[in-house]
Amino acid sequence: MDLHTTAVHAGDRKKAPAQIPVTTPIYTAASYISGSMEELDRVMGREEPGYSYGRYDNPTNAALEEQARALENGFGALACSSGMTAVQMAIAAALADRRRSIVAAGALYGATVGLLMNVLEPSGCAVRFVDICDLDAVRTAVAEARPGCILAETISNPLLRVPEIDKLAQIARGAGAALIVDNTFATPLLVRPLDLGAHFSVHSVTKFLAGHGDVLGGIVVSDEEHYDTLRRLARITGPVLGPFESYLTMRGIKTFPLRMDRQCANACRAAQMLSAHPQVERVYFPADPAHPDAAAIRRLFPPNLYGAMVSFELRGAGREEVFRFIDALKLIVRATSLGDVHSMILHPATSSHREISPKQREGMGIRDNLLRLSVGIEAAEDIIADLEQALGVG
Residues labelled catalytic: 55, 109, 182, 207
The amino acid that residue 71 corresponds to is: L
Q: Comparing C-alpha atoms, which of 137, 128, 130 is closest to residue 106?
A: 130
What burial class does residue 174 get, using C-beta atoms within 10 Å of its C-beta: 0-12 exposed, 13-18 middle, 19+ buried? Answer: exposed
Contact by Cβ (8 Å): 300, 162: yes
Strands (E) in the chain, as ranges, are: 76-80, 101-105, 126-130, 149-153, 178-182, 200-204, 218-222, 280-284, 309-314, 333-334, 344-346, 370-374
For residues 243 and 61, the answer to whether their CB atoms sit within 8 Å is yes
Query: Across the strands, what pairs with 182?
Result: 153, 202
DSSP 119: I
Which among 249, 197, 213 is positioned nearest to 86, based on CA atoms?
A: 249
H helices present in 285-318, as ranges: 294-300
The C-alpha atoms of residue 332 and residue 375 are separated, in whole angstroms, by: 9
State the DSSP H helix or E strand holding residue 261, giving kind and residue range, or none if neither.
helix 256-276
Strand pairing partners for 371? 312
